[in-house]
Amino acid sequence: MEPWFYPLLACPDCKGDFREENGTLRCVGCGFSVPVAVPLDLSPVSPKPMAIPFVRRDGDLSSALETFDVSAPPALYHGPLVPPQDLWPAMLFSQILLAKPNPPPPLAVLDLGVGRGKKECFDFLGCRYVGIDRSGATDITGDIHYLPFRDDQFDVIFSYMVLEHVYNPAMVLR
């Protein structure tokens, strides 16, 4: 049985549709192909250039920043803290960020920069989860500058402590 996110996939090079043929995903647009495996390697080979428009904002942003609440959220998450023997601050902070007073409806979640312990938390919350990272224990390996998904397919995109590690954060956010 194919993973739930396969219908959401798009070629990382041209954003074309994939077709599965004899254990291989092949792009119908540019011919990009990759063997079906876990993790699924969707690293771009010849990605199209991307234009990123920037809008200059005049004025002082400090007054807008003063309105943000930076106090710690209440500890409402009571799911698994996985793996407890390796609990480290980034994972704990991720679990605090997932704290909700009421369980969310089942959401499709894309995790950019998987790290450790978040999949179990999203599973506990009843979400459909897929993670992408350069390497490691992830569903998809690839470059988050060239996401291998169709646009507007996820309810939540979760990325924690990742943007400082990428070549072009504006491109990732776009």
> What is the pTM assigned to this prediction?
0.79
Supply the CATH number for residue 105's domain: 3.40.50.150
Residue 78 lies in a domain: no
The whole domain housing 167 covers 6-46+85-173
H-only helix segments in 13-168:
62-65, 89-97, 118-124
Q: Do residues 12 and 143 make contact, with C-beta atoms less than 8 angstroms apart?
A: yes
Number of structural domains in the chain: 1
β-bridge pairing 18-21 and 24-27: antiparallel
Q: Is residue 128 part of a domain?
A: yes
Q: Is residue 77 part of a domain?
A: no
DSSP 13: T
- Output the tens digit of pLDDT for each of the chain's 174 residues: 678 999 999 999 999 999 998 999 999 999 999 999 999 999 999 998 888 887 777 767 677 677 777 777 666 666 766 555 555 555 556 666 666 656 567 789 999 988 766 787 788 778 899 999 998 889 999 999 999 999 999 998 988 888 999 999 888 888
Pairwise CA distance, residues 43 & 30, whole Å? 14
Which runs of E-coded beta strand occur in 13-87?
18-21, 24-27, 33-35, 40-41
For residue 72, being part of any structural domain is answered with: no
Is 63 within the bounds of a domain?
no
Please provide residue 12's backbone torsions phi and psi, each rounded to the nearest 5 degrees.
Answer: -70, -20
The verdict on residue 102 lying in a domain is: yes
pLDDT at residue number 100? 61
- Res 126: pLDDT: 83
Q: Which residue has the tokens 């495996």?
A: 37
pLDDT at residue number 86: 54
* 52 within a domain of the structure (yes/no): no
The answer to whether residue 16 sits within a structural domain is: yes
